Each structure stands twice: as structure tokens, then as C-alpha cells.
Amino acid sequence: MEGMGAFDKFKDAAGDHGDQVAKGVDKAEEFAKDRTGGKYDDKIDKAGDSATEYLRRQAQQDRARGGSGDGQGT
């Protein structure tokens, strides 16, 4: 992993631990909703869904290339 950027490390972790990453996205959504007082809940939900879907696709691509991602988002 030497020389890998933070994003690359995150993608590797996401592929290996998709369920935990999805929980982290959910937790971040709840934090953002609390901090904004519910004003942007719809936008926060949409962003969280997009992030989770992106991570699932990345894990699937990693598996297709022979990686170890489990692809489990929830």
C-alpha cells in the first residue's frame, strides 16, 4: 500500500468491509441531519444513497478484476 493515496486506501477498505462502510455512511448522514436541523434531509439522503451505490459499484469492479471486495453495502 505504500504510495497509495487516502482515497485508494479507502476504496480498498470499502471493498473488504462493505457492510461497515455502509454503516459509516448512515452514521454520517445522521450526523449531518442533526447538524443541519433537518433542513437538508432530502439532499443528505440522496448524497448518502449515491455514496453507497458508488462504493458497491467499486467493490463489484474490484471483484471482477480479481480483488477481494465483498460488495456488501448493507
**What's the pLDDT at 74?**
47
Which residue range is the domain that position 23 belongs to? 18-64
With respect to residue 23, please indicate whether it lies within any of the assigned structural domains.
Answer: yes
With respect to residue 56, please indicate whether it lies within any of the assigned structural domains.
Answer: yes
In the block, residue with C-alpha cell 445522521? 30
pLDDT of 58 higher than 50: yes
The answer to whether the CB of 55 falls within 8 A of the CB of 21 is: yes
Residues 19-57 have pLDDT tens digits of 788 888 999 999 999 999 999 999 999 999 999 888 888
**What's the pLDDT at 52?**
87
With respect to residue 40, please indicate whether it lies within any of the assigned structural domains.
Answer: yes
With respect to residue 54, please indicate whether it lies within any of the assigned structural domains.
Answer: yes
- For residue 16, CA distances in Å to 27, 37, 46, 65, 69 come to 19, 34, 24, 14, 5
With respect to residue 4, please indicate whether it lies within any of the assigned structural domains.
Answer: no
With respect to residue 9, please indicate whether it lies within any of the assigned structural domains.
Answer: no
**What's the pLDDT at 31?**
96
With respect to residue 42, please indicate whether it lies within any of the assigned structural domains.
Answer: yes
Total-model pTM: 0.63
Number of domains within the chain? 1
Interatomic CA distance for residues 48 and 37, integer angstroms: 17
With respect to residue 49, please indicate whether it lies within any of the assigned structural domains.
Answer: yes
In the block, residue with C-alpha cell 471483484? 63
